[in-house]
Structure 1
Amino acid sequence: MIRRLAGVLWALAQTLPDPERDPDLGPFCTYLRQKYGRHALDLSPGAWEEGLLDLIAETIAEGWDRYGAPSAARDPEGEGYIASAEVGPETILARGQTKREAYREARRAWVRRLLG
């Protein structure tokens, strides 16, 4: 999935005179230039893929360090479990019949907010 997405971004960048000036693609192109020391258009699709994977991993790792990962416990007000996480001022709450289910739902929401 990431390989295909990186390929689409690379192909789009090839159609632009200077993709770093594009309001949507520009920040990623700047990230690639800083990471590899070369203009994004001079990089291979493989470098774009690695760069995208690294950016996603860095974003998740920074969120984990800053906010901590979701946690889950028995729901004190009912059956099942409740999981929670913080992302900035927002609190994520998720419920599930099992601890794993609640944690998985909270983790999905947490990652979505970090990457959004």
Structure 2
Amino acid sequence: MIRRLARLLREVARGLPDPDEDPDLGPFCTYLRQKYGRHALDLSPEVWEEGLLELIAETIAEGWDRYGAPSAARDPEGGFVASAEGPGEPIVVRASTKREAYREARREWVKRLLR
């Protein structure tokens, strides 16, 4: 999935007069230039893929350091509850199994970090 997204972003950038100035793609092109020391359009599709993976991993790791990861516990009212702090309001998920509650809380937490 990341490979296809990175290649699509690269193709879009190639069609722009100056991808660094694009309000949506510019920040990623700047990130690539700073990370690899060359203009984004001079980088191979594989480097775009690696750059996108690195940016996503960095964002999640920074979120983990800043907010902590979601956690889950037994709900005194039955089932399980999972919670997380993160950007925006706290996340609270109730489910019949601990795994399901934790999984849903993680999913929402990662979505918020990547927005």
Tell me how many residue pairs correspond in the alignment. 115
Alpha-carbon displacement from aligned partner over 1:20-74 (angstroms, at most 9, x marks no partner): 1000000000000000000001001110000000000000000000000000011
CA contact (8 A) 2:84 2:105 kept: yes
Counterpart Cα distance in 1 of 2:87 and 2:24: 23
Could you say which residue in structure 2 is the equivalent of 1:113?
Answer: 112
TM-score normalised to structure 2 length: 0.97
Could you say which residue in structure 2 is the equivalent of 1:64?
Answer: 64
Q: CA RMSD in A?
A: 0.8
Task: Please state if 1:81 is matched with 2:80.
Answer: yes
1:56 is aligned with what amino acid?
Answer: I
Could you say which residue in structure 1 is the equivalent of 2:10?
Answer: 10
TM-score normalised to structure 1 length: 0.96
SS at match of 1:90: coil
Identity %: 77
Could you say which residue in structure 2 is the equivalent of 1:23?
Answer: 23
Q: Please, which runs of 5 or more residues in structure 1 have no aligned partner?
A: none
- Return structure 1 stretches of 4+ with deviation > 3 angstroms: none
Could you say which residue in structure 1 is the equivalent of 2:95?
Answer: 96
Could you say which residue in structure 2 is the equivalent of 1:54?
Answer: 54
- CA drift of 1:96 comes to 1.2
Q: Please, which runs of 5 or more residues in structure 2 have no aligned partner?
A: none
Could you say which residue in structure 1 is the equivalent of 2:32?
Answer: 32
